[in-house]
Structure 1
């Protein structure tokens, strides 16, 4: 199975975009033999994300879980396919928080995605796909199969935009442009975000998915530019009472 055949197989499973990267320098020690990463992107529903104004919705929480399930299914099927061709592969869970490292998973999806050249990390700490913006979820597979890799993106393309920072009800976003090698805490306070969600919106579900920063981002929002101003103003007016 060559790189193109692998890409076509994963696309047939319903992904929105796919890229490959070399992760030899960033792979955890227990997975040192896995030098390459497969990253795929699942676009979220505009209808559901656009309903997020001043708070997350029950529909978004359900959508979030459904997409994660879909990602894990694709990851499993692709991992088995690679094994059938004689390669080793590790499926990274779509959403996971380690006991000894809260707010961190086994391997950072966003690191692999930026190394694959699929996008950058926004001021919100979310991955921003060059076409779909932050309205995506990511899947990652580590493998020992050599792949034709993309060109890494090493700096943010958010520029002077601060919509996510100015509309964050937890005030968790620093408003700093990401560069490769920066620690997340320099950009985004994951603990502040999680605590705010648990305090205000635990009734919705897990209480740690919000979506305001994703909804308000102008990249990949699915709106003509003339309509986006209304959405921003509508969110702004409602947030005054948060």
Structure 2
């Protein structure tokens, strides 16, 4: 991690980084881009901020100086178009905390939810035994995320995980934001990794290729018709 983005560059006294995550429910994500996913995304973001702040207050009350970090760390899509980086990377923190491995889409994949999980972090002076790195590589290299990306922001060749074209991704998000149905979510929707697929009976990946039961596509189309431009 470059020194500029190291936890001690933000909170010099930090001893431990705690990472928490909340899942994105797959059947809602499948409607993306939509107002339904838009609202879910906002809800999860708010919960992450709230829980991280509450945990930092709890630790402070126990005598361990702690601060929470916002789940994003940028003002909006217009800022990302000009400066496509936040001041701290929760996905790298999640990786180093042993919560998952990187995927082709440059996101953290977890055994439970694949990439369908959002993270945030708490910095604390409490000394907590770290989890071991998760050495298991969960990515199947199926390239579904890259092939499904509407703007071609995910590379299929070269280093792994490939750097995402953040500008293209931000342009896509800005377009959807203007129609009140950001974020995009397609690259995490089509990822086959995650036990949540069994829970929601979504192990047949052909449903994202226009095949399989029509009931799913009808449901997605219904939601997409309403609430946005």
Which one scores higher on RCO, CA 8 angstroms, separation ≥ 6?
2
Query: Which moves more between the two structures, 64-73 or 155-164?
Result: 155-164
Is contact 1:216-1:232 (8 Å) kept? Answer: yes
Alignment of 1:78 onto 2:59: no
C-alpha distance in structure 2 between counterparts of 1:113 and 1:35, whole Å? 16
SS of residue matched to 2:22 = strand
Alignment of 1:228 onto 2:204: yes
After superposition, the Cα gap between the structure-2 partners of 1:30 and 1:49, relative to the gap in structure 1 and judged at 3 Å, is closer
After superposition, the Cα gap between the structure-2 partners of 1:43 and 1:30, relative to the gap in structure 1 and judged at 3 Å, is closer
Q: CA RMSD in A?
A: 2.9
| Counterpart selection for 2:122 from 128, 137, 141 | 141
C-alpha distance in structure 1 between counterparts of 2:105 and 2:120, whole Å? 19
Within-5 A mapping of 1:49-198: 49-52=29-32, 56-97=33-74, 102-153=83-134, 156-175=137-156, 186-198=162-174
C-alpha distance in structure 1 between counterparts of 2:142 and 2:189, whole Å? 14
Deviations, residues 149-201 of structure 1 (Å, cap 9, x unaligned): 0112468531432000011001000135876xx7xxx4211110111232355
Number of paired residues? 203
How far residue 44 of structure 1 moved from its aligned partner, in angstroms, is 1.4
- Note the residue ranges of structure 2 that are not aligned, 5 or more in a row: 212-216, 218-229
2:9 corresponds to: 29
Alignment of 1:210 onto 2:187: no
Is contact 2:8-2:14 (8 Å) kept? Answer: no
Query: Which moves more between the two structures, 58-67 or 27-36?
Result: 27-36
2:25 corresponds to: 45
After superposition, the Cα gap between the structure-2 partners of 1:79 and 1:47, relative to the gap in structure 1 and judged at 3 Å, is same
Is contact 2:104-2:141 (8 Å) kept? Answer: no
Q: If the length of structure 2 is used for normalisation, what is the TM-score? A: 0.77
How far residue 37 of structure 1 moved from its aligned partner, in angstroms, is 0.6
C-alpha distance in structure 2 between counterparts of 1:178 and 1:94, whole Å? 27
After superposition, the Cα gap between the structure-2 partners of 1:154 and 1:121, relative to the gap in structure 1 and judged at 3 Å, is same
Q: If the length of structure 1 is used for normalisation, what is the TM-score? A: 0.74
C-alpha distance in structure 2 between counterparts of 1:134 and 1:177, whole Å? 21
- Note the residue ranges of structure 1 that are not aligned, 5 or more in a row: 1-22
SS of residue matched to 2:17 = strand
C-alpha distance in structure 2 between counterparts of 1:135 and 1:42, whole Å? 9
